Amino acid sequence: MTRVGFGFDLHPLAAGRPLVLGGVTVESDRGLAGHSDADVLSHAVGEALLGALALGDLGRHFPDTDPRYRGISSLRLLRSVVDLVTARGGRLVNVDATVLAQAPRLAPLLPEMAKRLADALGLETDRVSVKAKSPEGLGLVGRQEGMAAMAVVSVEVTA
């Protein structure tokens, strides 16, 4: 059986924070705020993976009240999510994700993000698609108040 999962995440931008997307630290005067490294792209992928098997969301598995997850690399959280999926007989097939950001320009960094996500997920790079979309100045992302990401995954389950 093939199952599909969808993930969405949104984080505010704040001064004095690194901007981490798909495990890549992006040069920027502001970064995303959150309890972990606030990697909105990795979080969307993780939410999608959990969603594929109806396992809830990242907040349920890695609560932001838990000091163990403070500042943690979200790629590490992703590896834990893959372990959860594997333990339930799931095998991740592919990922398709989009980051919604006004600035900086992300296009040159997308292949590296895909590679790091693929490494964390145990996938070949050609099974991970990362795209970026500009909101053309519209809305909260356009005003650079935050960034959002969406992802879909497919998971094969043999149980």
Q: Which residues bind Mg ion (CB under 5 A)?
A: 9, 43
Residue of 52, 53, 50 lying closest to 61 (CA atoms): 50
Nearer to Mg ion, 43 or 116 (CB): 43
Query: Residue 2 or residue 120: which is nearer to Mg ion going by CB?
Result: 120
Q: CB of 157: closest distance to Mg ion in angstroms?
A: 25
Cβ burial of 138 (10 Å; 0-12, 13-18, 19+) is exposed
Give the 3-state secondary structure of residue 104: coil
Q: Smallest gap, in angstroms, from Cβ of residue 77 to Mg ion?
A: 10
The nearer residue to Mg ion, 68 or 158, going by C-beta atoms, is: 68
What SS3 class is residue 35? coil
Q: How far is the CB of 40 from Mg ion (least distance, A)?
A: 6
> How, if at all, do strands 146-157 and 2-15 pair?
antiparallel
Question: CB of residue 38 vs Mg ion: minimum separation in angstroms?
Answer: 6
**Residue placing its CB nearer to Mg ion in the complex, 29 or 64:** 64
